[in-house]
Amino acid sequence: MNCFDMKRRDFITLLAATAAMAAPRRLRAQPQRVATIGVLVTGNASPDEFLTGLREALREVGLIEGQNVRLEIRTAEGRAALLPEKAAELVRLKVDVIVASLTPSVKAAKDATSDIPIVMAPAGDPLETEETRALVRASIERLPDTYRIVLMLRDIEELDTQATAEILGVTPNAVKIRLHRARQALRALLDPHFRRATP
Protein backbone atom coordinates (compact mmCIF):
# COMPACT_ATOMS: atom_id res chain seq x y z
CA MET A 1 0.00 0.00 0.00
CA ASN A 2 1.22 3.51 -0.70
CA CYS A 3 0.00 6.73 0.85
CA PHE A 4 -2.26 7.41 -2.11
CA ASP A 5 -4.30 4.31 -1.22
CA MET A 6 -5.05 5.58 2.26
CA LYS A 7 -8.38 4.32 3.58
CA ARG A 8 -10.75 6.24 5.83
CA ARG A 9 -9.70 4.24 8.91
CA ASP A 10 -6.00 4.75 8.13
CA PHE A 11 -6.64 8.48 7.73
CA ILE A 12 -8.43 8.77 11.09
CA THR A 13 -5.73 6.77 12.88
CA LEU A 14 -2.95 8.85 11.38
CA LEU A 15 -4.61 12.13 12.35
CA ALA A 16 -5.19 10.84 15.87
CA ALA A 17 -1.52 9.95 16.08
CA THR A 18 -0.43 13.44 15.07
CA ALA A 19 -2.79 14.89 17.68
CA ALA A 20 -1.21 12.72 20.36
CA MET A 21 2.22 14.05 19.48
CA ALA A 22 1.13 17.47 20.75
CA ALA A 23 0.56 16.26 24.31
CA PRO A 24 2.58 18.60 26.50
CA ARG A 25 5.96 17.32 27.63
CA ARG A 26 4.86 17.68 31.23
CA LEU A 27 2.53 14.70 30.77
CA ARG A 28 5.56 12.52 30.11
CA ALA A 29 7.95 14.25 32.49
CA GLN A 30 6.31 13.11 35.74
CA PRO A 31 6.33 9.30 35.71
CA GLN A 32 4.83 8.99 39.19
CA ARG A 33 1.79 11.09 38.30
CA VAL A 34 -1.28 9.95 36.40
CA ALA A 35 -1.96 12.58 33.75
CA THR A 36 -5.49 13.35 32.65
CA ILE A 37 -6.36 14.06 29.03
CA GLY A 38 -9.78 15.43 28.24
CA VAL A 39 -11.21 14.40 24.88
CA LEU A 40 -14.04 16.46 23.41
CA VAL A 41 -15.89 15.17 20.35
CA THR A 42 -19.04 16.25 18.57
CA GLY A 43 -20.27 12.69 18.23
CA ASN A 44 -21.86 13.18 14.82
CA ALA A 45 -20.18 9.91 13.89
CA SER A 46 -18.79 7.22 16.16
CA PRO A 47 -15.53 8.43 17.75
CA ASP A 48 -14.29 4.85 18.19
CA GLU A 49 -11.76 4.96 15.35
CA PHE A 50 -10.37 8.29 16.47
CA LEU A 51 -10.12 7.13 20.09
CA THR A 52 -8.42 3.88 19.09
CA GLY A 53 -5.87 5.81 17.08
CA LEU A 54 -5.34 8.27 19.93
CA ARG A 55 -4.79 5.50 22.47
CA GLU A 56 -2.33 3.72 20.20
CA ALA A 57 -0.40 6.91 19.55
CA LEU A 58 -0.27 7.77 23.25
CA ARG A 59 1.13 4.31 23.98
CA GLU A 60 3.86 4.97 21.45
CA VAL A 61 5.06 7.93 23.54
CA GLY A 62 4.78 6.04 26.82
CA LEU A 63 1.34 7.23 27.92
CA ILE A 64 -0.71 4.13 28.72
CA GLU A 65 -4.35 4.43 29.71
CA GLY A 66 -4.93 2.96 33.16
CA GLN A 67 -1.27 3.20 34.10
CA ASN A 68 0.08 6.72 33.77
CA VAL A 69 -2.71 8.48 31.88
CA ARG A 70 -6.47 8.71 32.20
CA LEU A 71 -8.80 9.76 29.40
CA GLU A 72 -11.90 11.77 30.26
CA ILE A 73 -14.04 11.49 27.14
CA ARG A 74 -16.98 13.78 26.56
CA THR A 75 -19.22 13.58 23.53
CA ALA A 76 -22.09 15.84 22.53
CA GLU A 77 -23.69 12.86 20.74
CA GLY A 78 -24.24 14.93 17.63
CA ARG A 79 -25.80 17.89 19.46
CA ALA A 80 -23.43 20.83 19.09
CA ALA A 81 -25.40 22.84 21.67
CA LEU A 82 -24.11 20.47 24.36
CA LEU A 83 -20.44 21.09 23.58
CA PRO A 84 -20.00 24.12 25.89
CA GLU A 85 -21.39 22.09 28.79
CA LYS A 86 -19.11 19.14 28.00
CA ALA A 87 -16.09 21.42 27.67
CA ALA A 88 -16.92 23.03 31.02
CA GLU A 89 -17.00 19.56 32.61
CA LEU A 90 -13.46 18.91 31.44
CA VAL A 91 -12.31 22.26 32.78
CA ARG A 92 -13.90 21.50 36.18
CA LEU A 93 -12.03 18.19 36.23
CA LYS A 94 -8.78 20.17 35.77
CA VAL A 95 -7.53 17.95 32.98
CA ASP A 96 -3.94 18.51 31.88
CA VAL A 97 -4.80 18.94 28.21
CA ILE A 98 -7.90 18.85 26.02
CA VAL A 99 -7.91 17.06 22.68
CA ALA A 100 -10.75 18.57 20.64
CA SER A 101 -11.89 17.06 17.37
CA LEU A 102 -13.53 19.16 14.64
CA THR A 103 -14.25 22.88 14.66
CA PRO A 104 -17.27 23.04 17.03
CA SER A 105 -15.39 21.10 19.72
CA VAL A 106 -12.28 23.25 19.31
CA LYS A 107 -14.33 26.42 19.67
CA ALA A 108 -16.15 25.12 22.76
CA ALA A 109 -12.86 24.17 24.40
CA LYS A 110 -11.27 27.55 23.59
CA ASP A 111 -14.33 29.36 24.99
CA ALA A 112 -14.22 27.28 28.18
CA THR A 113 -10.58 27.84 29.14
CA SER A 114 -7.54 29.95 28.44
CA ASP A 115 -5.37 28.01 30.89
CA ILE A 116 -5.58 24.38 29.77
CA PRO A 117 -3.63 23.53 26.60
CA ILE A 118 -5.88 22.52 23.72
CA VAL A 119 -4.69 20.04 21.12
CA MET A 120 -6.57 20.61 17.91
CA ALA A 121 -7.28 17.46 16.00
CA PRO A 122 -8.06 18.47 12.41
CA ALA A 123 -10.82 21.07 12.30
CA GLY A 124 -13.48 21.46 9.67
CA ASP A 125 -14.63 18.19 8.08
CA PRO A 126 -11.32 16.69 6.94
CA LEU A 127 -12.53 13.15 6.40
CA GLU A 128 -14.91 14.28 3.68
CA THR A 129 -12.63 16.66 1.78
CA GLU A 130 -10.28 15.47 -0.92
CA GLU A 131 -8.29 18.66 -0.40
CA THR A 132 -7.29 17.63 3.11
CA ARG A 133 -6.60 14.06 2.05
CA ALA A 134 -4.33 15.45 -0.65
CA LEU A 135 -2.59 17.64 1.93
CA VAL A 136 -1.90 14.66 4.17
CA ARG A 137 -0.61 12.60 1.25
CA ALA A 138 1.64 15.42 0.08
CA SER A 139 2.96 15.96 3.61
CA ILE A 140 3.81 12.27 3.95
CA GLU A 141 5.65 12.41 0.65
CA ARG A 142 7.72 15.33 1.96
CA LEU A 143 9.03 13.30 4.89
CA PRO A 144 12.53 11.80 4.69
CA ASP A 145 12.52 8.20 3.49
CA THR A 146 13.31 6.79 6.93
CA TYR A 147 10.33 8.61 8.45
CA ARG A 148 7.93 7.98 5.59
CA ILE A 149 8.59 4.25 5.47
CA VAL A 150 8.16 3.64 9.20
CA LEU A 151 4.99 5.75 9.20
CA MET A 152 3.55 3.74 6.32
CA LEU A 153 4.42 0.39 7.90
CA ARG A 154 3.11 1.18 11.39
CA ASP A 155 0.24 3.63 10.88
CA ILE A 156 -1.02 2.72 7.43
CA GLU A 157 -0.26 -0.96 6.96
CA GLU A 158 -0.65 -1.48 10.74
CA LEU A 159 2.32 -3.81 11.20
CA ASP A 160 3.42 -4.25 14.79
CA THR A 161 6.72 -2.92 16.07
CA GLN A 162 8.55 -6.25 15.84
CA ALA A 163 7.48 -6.90 12.25
CA THR A 164 8.44 -3.36 11.27
CA ALA A 165 11.84 -3.77 12.92
CA GLU A 166 12.48 -6.97 10.98
CA ILE A 167 11.57 -5.34 7.67
CA LEU A 168 13.77 -2.32 8.33
CA GLY A 169 16.61 -4.30 9.86
CA VAL A 170 16.65 -2.26 13.05
CA THR A 171 15.76 -2.85 16.70
CA PRO A 172 12.18 -2.46 17.97
CA ASN A 173 13.36 0.46 20.10
CA ALA A 174 14.76 2.16 17.00
CA VAL A 175 11.37 1.73 15.32
CA LYS A 176 9.62 3.42 18.25
CA ILE A 177 12.02 6.35 18.22
CA ARG A 178 11.83 6.73 14.45
CA LEU A 179 8.02 6.53 14.47
CA HIS A 180 7.77 9.15 17.19
CA ARG A 181 10.01 11.50 15.21
CA ALA A 182 8.09 10.78 12.00
CA ARG A 183 4.78 11.68 13.64
CA GLN A 184 6.28 14.86 15.04
CA ALA A 185 7.59 15.81 11.61
CA LEU A 186 4.23 15.10 9.99
CA ARG A 187 2.41 17.13 12.60
CA ALA A 188 4.79 20.04 12.04
CA LEU A 189 3.86 19.98 8.35
CA LEU A 190 0.12 19.66 8.95
CA ASP A 191 -0.40 21.85 12.00
CA PRO A 192 -0.21 25.26 10.26
CA HIS A 193 -2.94 24.21 7.82
CA PHE A 194 -5.26 22.89 10.53
CA ARG A 195 -4.72 25.90 12.75
CA ARG A 196 -5.66 28.22 9.91
CA ALA A 197 -8.92 26.30 9.57
CA THR A 198 -9.83 26.97 13.19
CA PRO A 199 -11.91 30.06 13.94
CATH number at residue 152: 1.10.10.10
pTM of the complete model:
0.57
Instruction: Tell me the CA distances in angstroms from 127 to 50, 78, 97, 123, one per residue in order.
Output: 11, 16, 24, 10
Residue 107 has pLDDT above 90, yes or no: no
Q: What range defines the domain where residue 32 resides?
A: 3-125
The alpha carbon dihedral of 3, 4, 5, 10 has a sign of positive
State pLDDT tens for residues 124-162.
444 445 556 677 778 888 999 999 899 888 877 778 889
Domain boundary among 100, 125, 150: 125
Domain count, the chain: 2
State pLDDT tens for residues 41-86.
887 667 777 788 778 777 776 778 888 889 999 998 888 889 999 9
Domain boundary among 125, 141, 163: 125
Domain boundary among 105, 125, 145: 125
pLDDT at 178: 92
Q: 66 and 40, same structural domain? A: yes
Confidence tier at 1 by pLDDT (50, 70, 90): very low
